[in-house]
Structure 1
Amino acid sequence: MDAKPARLSRTVLTEIILPADTNYHNTVFGGRVMQYMDKVATIASMRHSRKAVVTASSDSLDFFAPVKLGEAIQLEAFVTWTHRSSMEVFVKIESENLLTGERKRTATAFLTFVALDEHGQPTPVPGIIPETEEEKKLFETAEARFTARKLRKDTRL
């Protein structure tokens, strides 16, 4: 199975934050952001594997700034690294004040997906070819994140 460039999995999702998406601070619910993250990362991992996928883990979700009512939220995701049947997906999130054009980094996260065959069993996925500096840095540090996730799973009660 030939490796694929990370750019082929790159996926962008943009939404406007409406009242139903917000908490009593008039900022987006963290859970809503997580829902958007899972959606955009699912698409990225399916683009890479061309298989059905399931979310295996979500980690390193770091919030930096709130997204306010009426702002746009933009999520960008791409596959950074693969193991046999799993794919690590990086998601970066920005908000944009649509009236002023001001943008800010809102959050980042890593999610892991497993590709499934037609019987619902894990199936191999292509490797990744990082091309940009960002892709290369994330690729080079991915195995350490994989090991940390595995250790965390192995030590759960």
Structure 2
Amino acid sequence: MRSDAGNTSPAPPTEARLLEMVFPDHANHLGTLFGGQALAWMDKAAFVAASRYARKTVVTARSEQVNFRLPVRQGQLVEAIARVVGVGRSSMLVDVELIAEDLPTGERDLCTRGRFVMIALDARGRPTEVPALSA
């Protein structure tokens, strides 16, 4: 239940975390995660973070600076961590990290990092304003 006491509203959430398991249908002939699948999971995490932040419909406008550092292997758990790091009038800049975890050992490695620009839309599908990012 929401309280309006004091007329202060909490800052919108700026982070989202998604977990996926790398199964054989996500991997190439070398047993590593397809790059396109990694991008899809990262875009999904960016979508969730931006949607929660804006509380509006959002779409991806651009992905940029995606760096594949280490391969993600079949059987690993993948955590996509998305953070809203910048806000324009209707746009949100979302940084996403893809971290692979080896379940038996617990070892975690940052494998991929990227940046996504998401746009908030109104009911007519036009760009609409989002709240300013709190410091």
Common topology (TM > 0.5): yes
Verify: 1:99 aligned to 2:101, yes or no.
Answer: no
Alignment match, 1:79: 84
Verify: 1:41 aligned to 2:38, yes or no.
Answer: no
Q: How does 1:109-120 map to 2 (within 5 A)?
A: 109-120=114-125
Q: How does 1:51-90 map to 2 (within 5 A)?
A: 51-90=56-95
Alignment match, 1:12: 17
Kindly report structure 1 stretches of 4+ aligned residues shifted beyond 4 Å: 2-6
Give the TM-score normalised by structure 1. 0.78
* Partner SS for 2:48: helix
Does the 8 Å CA contact 1:4/1:127 hold for their aligned counterparts? no
Equivalent pairs counted in the alignment come to: 128
Letter in 2 for 1:43: V
Give the TM-score normalised by structure 2. 0.90
Verify: 1:108 aligned to 2:78, yes or no.
Answer: no
Alignment match, 1:29: 34
Could you say which structure has the higher helix fraction? Answer: 1
Letter in 1 for 2:23: L
The runs of 5 or more residues in structure 2 that have no matched partner are 1-7
Residue 115 and residue 66 in structure 1: after superposition, are their counterparts in 2 closer, same or farther (change >3 A)? same
